[in-house]
Amino acid sequence: MHTQSRKITVLAAALLPLAAVAACGSQTVSVGGTPVTGVRWNVESVTVDGTTTQAPGSSYVEFPSADRARGNNGCNSFDAEAEIDGDTIRIGKATVTMSMCMDKKDRDFEKTFGRAIGGSNKARTDGDHLTLTTDDGDTIALVKERPAPLTGTEWTVTSLLSDDVATSLPKEVAGRAKLTFDREGKDGTDGRDGTDGRDSRDGTDGTVTGDLGCNRFRAKAEFRDGHLTLGRPVTTRMLCQGPRMDTERALLKLFAQKLSYEVQGRTLRLTAPDGTGAEAGAGRG
């Protein structure tokens, strides 16, 4: 698997006993009437010792279930044990990637975030906002991320799929392969999706344009019955070698067939009937 970082096991600021959390499973858990699981929470700022630091755009926290927390600290990704109990969220042992970030501000924020995220936090919700406060009074301010619309969004391909196994793109291609879907609605509007990221005008046609990792392309896109069918692409004729061409060949296999698609937050998953596909991410809007 191609990846730019290796993982090591580290301990968060406090290792906490997380008993009896498995029973929570994938059930939606709320704080103050607001669901906190199954939501991507973008970090707005972190306040430590009375000093507030604005978060870089890549920083987020999400709770895929009541016993897990994962996200990005502005430099590296993390995956941790967690427990949500009423208005208390405890975050314990974590796995953190070890990428070397070049921006000093991101490195400094990583350290600040690390001080505030570990241990026991009181959680407070206010509309789309979530605030975590430690016993020492440090806080993390987060805001709920709205799903990106399928159309009108530039999606950057991050990985290729094979039977639900995602393989990240090699570094030679990272950030190159992009897809943008556009559609002309029957009512003359631009045909963009609703806030849930799904197709709000099922049964319309449009186009998909972008870059396959080597060549730029354009193709028809048909939205029918919750599926997406891509036509045969017209491409430029550059010759590329190695990973760029390998990625392009893999993406070309997704055309001229009906695909399942799913938008979760700012991640798009395209899946062919044989289990192959691609995942792509939307930039922070």
Rounded-to-integer distance, Cα 134 and Cα 93, Å: 16
158 and 132: one domain?
no
Name the pTM for this structure.
Answer: 0.59
132 and 189: one domain?
no
Rounded-to-integer distance, Cα 230 and Cα 272, Å: 11
Could you give the number of structural domains in the chain?
2
Q: Residue 262 falls within a domain, yes or no?
A: yes
Given 144, 176, 207, which residue is the final one in a domain?
144
The 3-class SS string of 86-144 reads: CCEEEEEEEEEECCCCCCHHHHHHHHHHHHHHCEEEEEEEECCEEEEEECCCCEEEEEE
Q: Residue 250 falls within a domain, yes or no?
A: yes
pLDDT band at 59 (very low <50, low <70, confident <90, very high): very high
Q: Residue 149 falls within a domain, yes or no?
A: no
pLDDT band at 146 (very low <50, low <70, confident <90, very high): confident
Mean pLDDT along residues 88-97:
90
Given 144, 165, 180, which residue is the final one in a domain?
144
230 and 121: one domain?
no
Q: Residue 190 falls within a domain, yes or no?
A: yes
Mean pLDDT along residues 70-95:
92
Task: Decide: 128 and 32 in contact? Cβ < 8 Å.
Answer: no
Q: Residue 72 falls within a domain, yes or no?
A: yes
pLDDT over threshold 60, residue 200: no
pLDDT at 18: 33
Mean pLDDT along residues 144-159:
92
pLDDT over threshold 50, residue 87: yes
137 and 206: one domain?
no
pLDDT at 221: 96
Q: Residue 1 falls within a domain, yes or no?
A: no
Which residue range is the domain that position 132 belongs to? 7-144
Closest listed residue to residue 257, CA positions, set 226, 222, 234, 230: 230
User: Coil, strand, or helix at residue 249?
Assistant: helix
Given 120, 144, 168, which residue is the final one in a domain?
144
Task: Indicate if the alpha-carbon torsion angle 224, 227, 232, 238 is positive or negative.
Answer: positive
pLDDT band at 14 (very low <50, low <70, confident <90, very high): very low
162 and 220: one domain?
yes
Q: Residue 2 falls within a domain, yes or no?
A: no
Closest listed residue to residue 35, CA positions, set 139, 131, 130: 130
CATH number, domain of 15, equals: 2.40.128.270
* 165 contact partners, CB below 8 Å, separation of at least 6: none
80 and 167: one domain?
no
